Structure 1
């Protein structure tokens, strides 16, 4: 028996969760259960895998297990960008190998289209907006990045528009940025509302258990998942729990649970909206990867997301929230001096699962155990796509994208603690320092 020593323990005020519609969580599992397929993690990957498994195996019950409540965890805490285009920060043009970049574009587009179809089919109210993404720079180093990225995107046939600083207030209201690259194709979403809607529209042969944290696991001819109120024995297990896969005995010392911090303002008044100006909905990704992500939402709020920490156990540190809300306030004031009295209603942390070599894991982990793990910051599109493709692979369906994912070397091994935490947090601090005024 392998005991699970670390469980999700997210902080209490994720703004997307509290400003999306309330729902009644599905009951926790109680007693003993047997099934053919079980999935750990009801985030975007797990939800996609469960839905596709249900379609591929209509006569089987698919059991989906979530430790917390759907929409409360990391899937409901990101910035809400469903991005299709690749962005390889290790390449000079942010694209790298063109053949690989086109496959990544195809993979991300699969995830994006899958979600778009579900949102429209089930009328999921998640504030979906199309073609409102900008990548923006404050100084010359960032402008150079934008120029390089535009050149790279041209190689894979993607049209972009470079917007000068003097024209940006018409788009964003703020005159803070000196140049921006408008990249059509991204969806903006309310992430917690999205996953809540996906969970409540699952096929009838998916059984979702919320508030059912797995405390121990037995591997063998069958896999037994043990929790406080019983157990679930399954023929096949799918892990869709990102950094927590290490707790289940896989990819140990290969996953980097990294936390980003977000704050969401109160709703802007009509007068404040007029004072701000610009388009009513937009999202800004920073040119420098350690800068601030900013959004103006459908319900007239401002999101500020920046500041990074690494926690090897996958659990956020409570001490950082108060410190980083001050970072958010400074970032807000620099961009929106015309809104001096707008306060934040919510501040939270959200995990992304990274790897040292920017590779994820897809495929078989052990006999009867499979995983789609580590999206390296693209959880909405890539997580959805890999969940779908893993379910298809288990049904005997393959494609060029399946082959592409299976050919990945997977995440690199990292140094042991305490060297890992010291090293990663040092890199994060240095990156944020170098981002300068883009934070």
Structure 2
């Protein structure tokens, strides 16, 4: 018997969740149930796996289990970038090996296309727009990153536009940045709205249980999942719960639950919109990975995301919200001095599953137990495509994308505690300080 020692527990202040269309959660599971296919984790990966299994096995029931409410967890807490391009921060030109980069591009584009198709087919109101993204720099080191990435995009044959600082106010309003690299292929979304819409449009043979946190697991010929109100027996179990997969006994000591934090302002008034200028809907990521991400949303709010914490149990910690909201305010005021009285309506945290070698896991974890885990911050597109491809692989399908994922070495092992926590926290602190004005 494996006891699940830590259960998801996110803060209740996620702006995306509260501003998205309310939905009635599906009931939690009660009693005993047997099913051939059971999936744990109803984020982007689990929803995609459930949908694809249901299409591959239309006469079979697919059981999807979510510990919290759909849209409330990590998939509904990101900055809302459905990114198409690879971005290998370990490579000099941020592209690295060309063959690997091309496969990564195909994976991301496949996931993006899946989401666009589902949004259109089911009329999901998630404000998806093919707006592209800006990657912007303030300091010399950030400008060098943009130049390196431009060389990589040339090698990959992908379009971009390099924008000078004096021209940026016409795009994003603020004159804060010295330079930006614009790539047109990113789609911007309201993530919680998308996740809710995906859940409410699942095929009829998917049974979704929300607020059903698994507390114990017994592996064997069949897997027995126990929760406070009963148990579910699975012939085949799929884990799509990212870093919490380690709590189920797999990939222990490999994935790092890293939280990042965001604040969302009140809507800008007509006068404030005029003072800001620029386009009415855009997204910007920093040249430095520890810098600040920005969004201008469909309802004229500004999102500011920066700051990181290492939460080994994968659960939210209120002390970080109190600490980081002041950083968000400082970052906002530096970038938008023309908006002096715009308050934040929401501040929240959300977790990423990160591996030190930036590799995910795809395939068999144990007999009749499978996983698509560790999205390394690309959960929107990469989670979607790996969930769907895992379902296809389980039907016996093979293609170059599945073969690429199966060949991955997976997340590498971390040093033991307490050295791990000391090292991760020191790296996060150093990275955030090194970001300088990019933060």
Shorter-normalised TM range = over 0.9
Q: Distance in 2 between matches of 1:206 and 1:74?
A: 21
Say if 2:98 is the partner of 1:98: yes
Say if 2:237 is the partner of 1:217: no
Q: Any gaps of 5 or more consecutive residues in structure 1?
A: none
TM-score by length of 1: 0.99
SS at match of 1:130: coil
Q: Which residue of structure 2 lines up, in the alignment, with residue 174 of structure 1?
A: 174
Q: Distance in 1 between matches of 2:269 and 2:20?
A: 19
Q: Which residue of structure 2 lines up, in the alignment, with residue 208 of structure 1?
A: 208
> CA shift at 1:312, angstroms?
1.3
User: Post-superposition, which runs of at least 4 consecutive aligned residues in structure 1 deviate over 6 A?
Assistant: none
Q: Which residue of structure 2 lines up, in the alignment, with residue 407 of structure 1?
A: 407
Q: How does 1:169-318 map to 2 (within 5 A)?
A: 169-318=169-318
> CA shift at 1:418, angstroms?
1.6
Q: Distance in 1 between matches of 2:182 and 2:376?
A: 23
Of residues 326-335 and 308-317 in structure 1, the stretch that sits farther from structure 2 once superposed is 308-317
Q: Which residue of structure 1 lines up, in the alignment, with residue 381 of structure 2?
A: 381
Of residues 196-205 and 410-419 in structure 1, the stretch that sits farther from structure 2 once superposed is 410-419
TM-score by length of 2: 0.99
Aligned-residue RMSD, C-alpha:
0.6
SS at match of 1:260: strand
> CA shift at 1:131, angstroms?
2.7
SS at match of 2:285: strand
> CA shift at 1:154, angstroms?
1.2
> CA shift at 1:311, angstroms?
1.2
Q: How does 1:47-58 map to 2 (within 5 A)?
A: 47-58=47-58
Q: Distance in 1 between matches of 2:155 and 2:298?
A: 33
Aligned 8 A contact 1:239 1:371 in 2: yes
Q: Distance in 2 between matches of 1:369 and 1:97?
A: 32
Cα deviation, 1:306-331, whole Å, max 9, x if unaligned, reads 00111111112211101100000000
Q: Which residue of structure 2 lines up, in the alignment, with residue 363 of structure 1?
A: 363
Q: Which residue of structure 2 lines up, in the alignment, with residue 40 of structure 1?
A: 40
Q: Distance in 2 between matches of 1:141 and 1:321?
A: 29
Q: Distance in 2 between matches of 1:141 and 1:419?
A: 30
Cα deviation, 1:283-307, whole Å, max 9, x if unaligned, reads 0000011100000001110000000
Aligned 8 A contact 2:131 2:281 in 1: no
Aligned 8 A contact 2:38 2:238 in 1: yes
Q: Which residue of structure 2 lines up, in the alignment, with residue 3 of structure 1?
A: 3
Q: Which residue of structure 2 lines up, in the alignment, with residue 433 of structure 1?
A: 433
> CA shift at 1:5, angstroms?
0.8
> CA shift at 1:22, angstroms?
0.4
> CA shift at 1:192, angstroms?
0.1
Q: How does 1:72-151 map to 2 (within 5 A)?
A: 72-151=72-151
Name the count of aligned residue pairs: 439
SS at match of 2:168: helix
Q: Distance in 1 between matches of 2:285 and 2:117?
A: 25
Q: Any gaps of 5 or more consecutive residues in structure 2?
A: none
> CA shift at 1:142, angstroms?
0.7
Aligned 8 A contact 2:242 2:353 in 1: yes
Q: Distance in 2 between matches of 1:156 and 1:139?
A: 26
